[in-house]
Chain A
Amino acid sequence: MKRQFTGWMAAAIALVLVATAARAAEPIKVGQISALSGGSAKSGEGITRGLSVAIDEINAAGGLLGRKLELVRRDDESNPAKGQIAARELIDQEKVAVMFGGIDSPVSLAIVPIANQSKVPYFSVWAAATNITRNGASPNFIFRVSAVDVLVDKALANHAVKAFQAKKLGLILVNNPWGESNEKGLTAAAKERGVEIAGIEKFEESDVDMVAQLTRLKSAGADTLVLVANAAPGAQVMKSLQRTGWSVPVVSHWGISGGRFPELAGPGAQKVQFIQTYSFFGPQNAVGKKVLEELEAKYPDIKGPADVVPPVGVANAYDAMHLVALAITKAGSTDGDKVRQALESLDRYDGLIKSYDHPFSAENHDALGEHDYIMVHYVGDKIEPVTN
């Protein structure tokens, strides 16, 4: 009897050991939920490239906690409901350690409560709506390595005044939560900068013709337009603008860089000055040089800095993945709550966009601020910094 018991014990211990070994070899899965199809497909591709290059680096150095990293991607089709389904699937079925979001603020906002309930950290690496990270949850599992609308709006208002001597801004915004977030931000930024708002006009994602909206802004005396839209609807705004024959400077949020904006908008695309967090042009830091080399080696269509489109998607995702890796190492675990605490107490990371010093705290979940933005424009279909 006793011998039999010992035998069972040995078998059980062996089983546990085997299971633990198998688990140790199991990869740590990280999820990506973003637009991989539709008018913003390029944004999702950029995010994938940034994450993949970082993951390759981490895996080449032996992975995390002795396990390899593996990327699991889902297409949200820019649709909040599909994003939520994908988030549930990644959390429940794939058991991802963290999730990375996409370009669409409405999708990210829909996933925020799910991530917070499930205690799985969620990184916004593009979507900029202010209330994605500032969502009132405590503890808050939502982090961001990207621009924040309130700060982008300040930068856009500043640029309009500095580059175009704007006195009356005409806002032309997409009619969704992201547009709303910027309506608030731009109104506040204009007040702070001492410029008037001539008018606020909105349009639907699928609208063909924005002539009526633009005409209203023109008759209200707008001298500079501020555009908030993704690539396809943004292109419709520029085509409509061309039809009205109104030559007016346009500064834009960065949504337009998530798709084929220069092709869709035609010649009008070149006059838009918009915001990014990073440019692969000009002198690069050591990380920039390394990442560019790795991108060129991994993706045959990348032959130089101009081919890294859209740069924000790549750069934000790359830095976010490394910050996550540091946090997992620091936490010694992939447990969501431990990773969150580790993220909030990270001290230094010499990244691509900048050297992060205490990027997050319990109160601040945004790693980038207004001094990390640059203004760019399209030259052909390449994105280059504005020089003025």
Chain B
Amino acid sequence: MFAAAAFAKERTTVLMALALVSGLGLGSMYGLLALGFYVTYSVSGTVNFAQGGSMMLGAVLCYSFAVTLGWPAAISIALALLLCGVWGLVVERIAVRPFASRGSNGWLMATVALGIVLENATLFLFGKEPRNYPSVLADAPIDIAGVPVLPLQLVIPAAGLAAALALHLVARHTRIGKAVLAVMQNPDAARLMGIDVGRAIAGSYAVSTVFAGIAGMLIAPLFNVSSDMGTLFGIKAFAVAIVGGITSAWGVVLAGFCYGIVEALIAALFGSTYTQILTFAVVIAALALMPNGLLGSAGTKKV
């Protein structure tokens, strides 16, 4: 009797651990996408609402190069990320700058619209069916303390943390980073100091879509590759960015982890019927308790 109870308890522990691993993996995806929101918002006060589309672009390009054309993985990944960066520049140039430079909020809709254009163009060019992206990292689970974990599920959170760390280091310790920080604090003063504000903003968009592209490539082997794969991720990532406090890189990544884990735990404990209801209720509660997000700070506006 006692043995059975102990067995049941141990099994429950393994089950919870599995849910945690899954949640951490998805959470890092949300975090990576949300970092993209953080980067552009910090520099320009605007975001690309079609981050989900950029994520999809990374996965679709990588699939096309590596699987359809059969190019080596390293070249495929590098080229896909490069093109993601170029896409970021395009988004900024045609969907953000024309509006933001006139003080209009039109970029809100323009980025969404451009994302829809991208999705439908992909549907047309890539094909209508979801495809499988195989990866050696997602073939067989390895055993960690009795919990089966795919190697990729360890790589994903590591990539999320590495991206946040890289942002931190670049911002504090490089000339470009310091210039961008200057733009964030006071664009006019930065311009007077000879810093090219327009290029800093364009660059932030490229970085943001590259992060999204990385997220797309990492999630593809666990999911599938299709034109609408990024939509739901984009929405959740925006929630994560807000909860994390869109002005803090570490806050955003932390919020991503929390979101993924809360989502998985709710599904494991209460059943999947309640997942969306409870998760988004938690989001609202978190915002009510911490209006500036987990690690964000209130912006001061001088009148």
Contact = CB atoms under 8 A, between A and B. Distances in A.
Interface residues of B, number: 36
B272 A243 contact: no
- The B contact surface, by secondary structure, is helix
Interface string B103-140: 00000000000000000000100001111101000000
Interface size on A, as a range, is 35 or more
A244 B148 contact: yes
Interface of A: 36-39, 41-42, 175, 201-204, 206, 208-213, 215-216, 218-219, 232, 235-236, 239-240, 242-245, 259-260, 263-264, 266
A305 to B, nearest CB: 22
A42 B22 CA distance: 30
A327 B168 CA distance: 73
A263 B12 CA distance: 32
22 contacts: A37-B123, A38-B226, A175-B272, A203-B272, A208-B219, A209-B25, A209-B26, A209-B222, A211-B264, A212-B265, A212-B267, A212-B268, A213-B271, A215-B18, A215-B19, A216-B271, A232-B130, A243-B141, A244-B18, A260-B132, A263-B131, A266-B134
A269 B167 CA distance: 41
A42 B273 contact: no
B223 interface: yes
Interface string B1-37: 0000000100110010011011001100000000000
Given A215-B18, A243-B148, A244-B148, A260 B129 contact: yes
Q: Which of B219, B223, B264 has the most CB of A within 10 A?
A: B223
A263 B22 contact: no
Interface of B: 8, 11-12, 15, 18-19, 21-22, 25-26, 123, 128-132, 134, 141, 148, 150, 219, 222-224, 226, 228, 231-232, 264-265, 267-268, 271-273, 276
B218 to A, nearest CB: 12
A386 to B, nearest CB: 24
The winner among B131, B271, B272, B273 for most chain A CB atoms within 10 A is: B272
A201 B148 contact: no
Contact of B267 (A36, A213, A239, A266): A213
A239 B224 CA distance: 11
Contacts of B19: 211-212, 215
Contact of B22 (A36, A175, A211): A211
